[in-house]
Structure 1
Amino acid sequence: MEMMTPIQADDPAKLTGLMANKLKTAVKTHLQQAFAPDNKKVMRLITPAEAAELLGVSLPYLRKCHTDKTLPEPENFSKQQRRYTAKELWSFRQILAEKSRTPSKHLPWRKEGEALQVWQFMNFKGGCSKTTATVHAAHYLALHGFRVLLVDMDPQGSLTGMCGIDPHAEFGGLTVYNAITKMQDSHAPMSEVIKETFLPGLSIAPADLMLSEFKMESRTDPLFATRLQSAISEVQDQFDVVLIDSPPELDILTLTGMASATSLLIPMTPSMMDLASTALFLELASTYMSSLAERGINLDYDHMRFLVTRDEPNDSPSQQLVGFLRAIFTDRVMTATSFKSTAVSDATILKQSVYELNRADVNRDTYDRARASMDAVGAEIRSMIQTTWGRG
């Protein structure tokens, strides 16, 4: 059996290279099986009850819209049931908004005078579920009608992988690096870097290891931190929200995201190690923020919040630490928390969010708890965005 073949080589460099190639092949094979038959991620079908909730209408009203032909029947329709694609719901939003007295209920796009919302997810503690939190927030907002751009600022490209994208294999290697580099032979407009994902309303500026080159280039550019902000400004009219996933360290790439952001979100797990690590992270971040300000880069955030991740509501020590955090930071800690869940963990193994899972394919109670948790986090972020826009 191929996977059981011993890996042997004469020296460490060859051995490491062989191990890397074998693992890459295994991962690629695994993902091809997961995304069969065409190696493309596809959003699952959506039930009528969930479709009504996402569209902001009641289930009887949704049925009525089909009966009176306000909305066309979904492609997956029979006398027994309807099932909707995410693309169909996206088109339904346009129709409902045109006929509604409150179109923003169905199509919550920002209006003239409402600033683009740029949220950076940041922490230098690995394992804090930063990328998981980013992708779940993105899926929640896109499913609720927002035009969302993900920006992967981590050279490891974990967020890019969660979107089912291999930038080298599919797009000739264009990544966010090309949008922010000053190297003329590598630079590309942000519009050429951005790729649509499998979920309508959600796009991504992908990343790969080439992004690490930006760290070297930035040593000779005193205004390196404005590069991403400039790239985002090129496409700002196309989006309502930008979510930036920074690397698990406080480096130049993270600082570039900080200079672009209008809000900061710091995911952290309720453990003493994470609390101590986050204290150091905040201390260093404060120093770097001051340095950016001295360079004339204005940092003005609408929101700075902590998000408790991998929360275990039934674990007493964990809840004591959550309470400790809330006592120290009060409303700087988001009310909603992201639960530790086997449903989320299992989905992440396949580079999916809980929104991509079919409820029938997992333990339903486990799914419902995980989904409710992620919905609550997404709803709170949505509320903060709309408050910034003055919608209340």
Structure 2
Amino acid sequence: MHSEVERIAEMAQTGERMIERLRRQAFLPESRKELTVRFGIAEAASLLGCSTNRIRMAEDDGRLPPPPPTENGRRPGYGINDLLNMREVLGASPARAPLDNPAIIAVQNFKGGVGKSTVTTHLAHYFAVQGYRVLVVDCDSQATTTTLFGFNPHFNITREQTLYPYLSIDPTQTDLLYAVQKTPWPNVDLIPSNLELFDVEYELAASGADGGSVLASRFRKLKQGLQDLARDYDVVILDPPPALGTISLAVMQAANSLIVPLAATTPDFCSTVQFLSMMDQVTGQLAEAGIVVDYDFVRLLCSKFDSNDPSHAMVRQIMEQTFGPALLPVPILESAEISHAALRMMTVYELERPIGTARTHKRCKGNLDEALAQVEVLVRKGWGVASPASEQEVINA
């Protein structure tokens, strides 16, 4: 007869097998995630900030290859690779200038269930669709972000592929290049995580009398490693653990921007206030130890907002009164489309067609674009540039 403790191990093992079954079912036939999303010419033109005629003219004069027609003669639309090529040919790349600092954004809250990993992955894919070069770093041993990118942390990722060889007490790597994995998105790379990354917390906690100096060196090391990697990217997005630990502190010190997701409930509001208070204390203590924490921007983003729930509206009003302009004005709405995509280990930006109704999908994607564009505006302000204007806006102006 199994003890209850043994039952935990049994449930964990059967759970891991079920995750692998779900992954294989989602990514048939090769059990590997592929990006199949396509964009019509009108949507492509909108993303590039140009007219459809300009795209057609570039196709007619040979600067751009036309998308191959389907059997019924219709255009199948453009893939992400096509869009990236179009940006290069038509001079519509939003990439930062060489002297601009890459945005290194930590998406952090110590309260679980606020959609931290969902915000991280959707933000990464939003920036990818807009044409930026993106690196996502999963620093959470629960590895939800790694899973959403199509990897099974238990079967596909080893400890040597995570941050562990770089941050451990006895490091075997001197930079972070070893950990960078390609994803189905041509302009998004990932440093994955798995449960063994938590060993870093154990090791540093057991470092004895030298704990403080070891900790400080790890903080500086992660920041330096990320800054070195970031040279090849426009945006780096960090997903730290939802708790105050060594890795969380190192991530918050390595970032130059902070997004705090929170749901519109009283417990989430109270927990976030505690998180901000704890951040204030910790940054003060780090400053005393000679470790400076500074951000280009700190913003709160309301996630999982149900516009039909009066209690959500009430709590959001409290947030607005409390946080003022630090709270981004457009929340991420609660949507079945996000939940359905997550069940397939995807984001809404990866869906080739709506899972629910076309109306629900359009509303969800439109809201995500509007909410996440707020972060893009902050990033571009840091580079001293405004968001690119469309040809129509220029003409009207």
- Per the TM superposition, whether the score is higher than 0.5 is yes
1:54-112 deviations in Å (ceiling 9; x for gaps): 23322332233222222102246563223222122222222222xxxxxxxx2111113
Deviates more, 1:301-310 or 1:70-79: 70-79
**Is the Cα contact below 8 Å between 2:175 and 2:225 reproduced in 1?**
yes
Structure 1 Cα separation of the partners of residues 305 and 17 of structure 2? 34
Equivalent of residue 180 in structure 2, options 187, 194, 200:
194
Cα distance change, pair 182–50 in 1 and its aligned pair in 2 (3 A):
farther
Structure 2 counterpart of 1:388, one-letter code: G
**Aligned-pair distance for 1:362?**
2.5
Q: Which secondary structure does the structure 2 equivalent of 1:52 belong to?
A: helix
**Is the Cα contact below 8 Å between 1:191 and 1:234 reproduced in 2?**
no
RMSD over equivalenced CA pairs, Å = 1.8
User: 5+ unaligned residues in a row in structure 1: which ranges?
Assistant: 1-8, 98-105
Equivalent of residue 299 in structure 2, options 300, 305, 324:
305
Cα distance change, pair 314–377 in 1 and its aligned pair in 2 (3 A):
same
1:16-62 deviations in Å (ceiling 9; x for gaps): 22222222112111110110011111122313232222233223322
Structure 2 counterpart of 1:262, one-letter code: N
Q: Is 1:89 aligned to residue 83 of structure 2? A: yes
Q: Is 1:60 aligned to residue 27 of structure 2? A: no
1:136 maps to which residue? 122
Equivalent of residue 332 in structure 1, options 314, 323, 326:
326
**Aligned-pair distance for 1:321?**
1.5
Cα distance change, pair 207–231 in 1 and its aligned pair in 2 (3 A):
same
Q: Which secondary structure does the structure 2 equivalent of 1:379 belong to?
A: helix
1:119 maps to which residue? 105
Cα distance change, pair 45–379 in 1 and its aligned pair in 2 (3 A):
same
User: 5+ unaligned residues in a row in structure 2: which ranges?
Assistant: 206-210, 387-397
1:363 maps to which residue? 357
Give the % identical residues. Answer: 28
1:69 maps to which residue? 62
Q: Is 1:180 aligned to residue 172 of structure 2? A: no
Structure 1 counterpart of 2:123, one-letter code: A
Q: Is 1:51 aligned to residue 51 of structure 2? A: no
**Is the Cα contact below 8 Å between 2:141 and 2:196 reproduced in 1?**
yes
Length-normalised TM-score, structure 1: 0.91
**Is the Cα contact below 8 Å between 2:183 and 2:189 reproduced in 1?**
yes
Q: Is 1:33 aligned to residue 33 of structure 2? A: no
2:136 maps to which residue? 150
Structure 1 Cα separation of the partners of residues 174 and 99 of structure 2? 29
**Aligned-pair distance for 1:303?**
0.6
Length-normalised TM-score, structure 2: 0.89
Structure 2 Cα separation of the partners of residues 386 and 313 of structure 1? 29
Structure 2 counterpart of 1:390, one-letter code: G
2:276 maps to which residue? 282
Structure 2 Cα separation of the partners of residues 372 and 122 of structure 1? 24
**Is the Cα contact below 8 Å between 1:120 and 1:261 reproduced in 2?**
yes
**Aligned-pair distance for 1:167?**
5.4
**Aligned-pair distance for 1:356?**
1.1
Equivalent of residue 264 in structure 1, options 223, 241, 258:
258
**Is the Cα contact below 8 Å between 1:43 and 1:356 reproduced in 2?**
yes
1:322-344 deviations in Å (ceiling 9; x for gaps): 12211221110002210000001
Q: Which secondary structure does the structure 2 equivalent of 1:305 belong to?
A: strand
**Is the Cα contact below 8 Å between 1:178 and 1:193 reproduced in 2?**
no
**Is the Cα contact below 8 Å between 1:180 and 1:231 reproduced in 2?**
no
**Aligned-pair distance for 1:169?**
4.2
**Aligned-pair distance for 1:171?**
5.7
Equivalent pairs counted in the alignment come to 375
Q: Which secondary structure does the structure 2 equivalent of 1:238 belong to?
A: coil
Cα distance change, pair 170–87 in 1 and its aligned pair in 2 (3 A):
farther
The 5 Å alignment of 1:315-354 reads 315-354=309-348
Cα distance change, pair 320–237 in 1 and its aligned pair in 2 (3 A):
same
Equivalent of residue 243 in structure 2, options 246, 249, 252:
249
Structure 1 Cα separation of the partners of residues 69 and 242 of structure 2? 42
Structure 2 Cα separation of the partners of residues 96 and 150 of structure 1? 27
**Is the Cα contact below 8 Å between 2:283 and 2:292 reproduced in 1?**
no
2:382 maps to which residue? 388
**Aligned-pair distance for 1:389?**
0.6
**Is the Cα contact below 8 Å between 1:179 and 1:193 reproduced in 2?**
no
Structure 2 Cα separation of the partners of residues 246 and 76 of structure 1? 44
Deviates more, 1:84-93 or 1:111-120: 84-93
**Aligned-pair distance for 1:188?**
5.4
Q: Which secondary structure does the structure 2 equivalent of 1:235 belong to?
A: helix
1:206 maps to which residue? 192
**Is the Cα contact below 8 Å between 1:119 and 1:263 reproduced in 2?**
yes
Cα distance change, pair 52–362 in 1 and its aligned pair in 2 (3 A):
farther
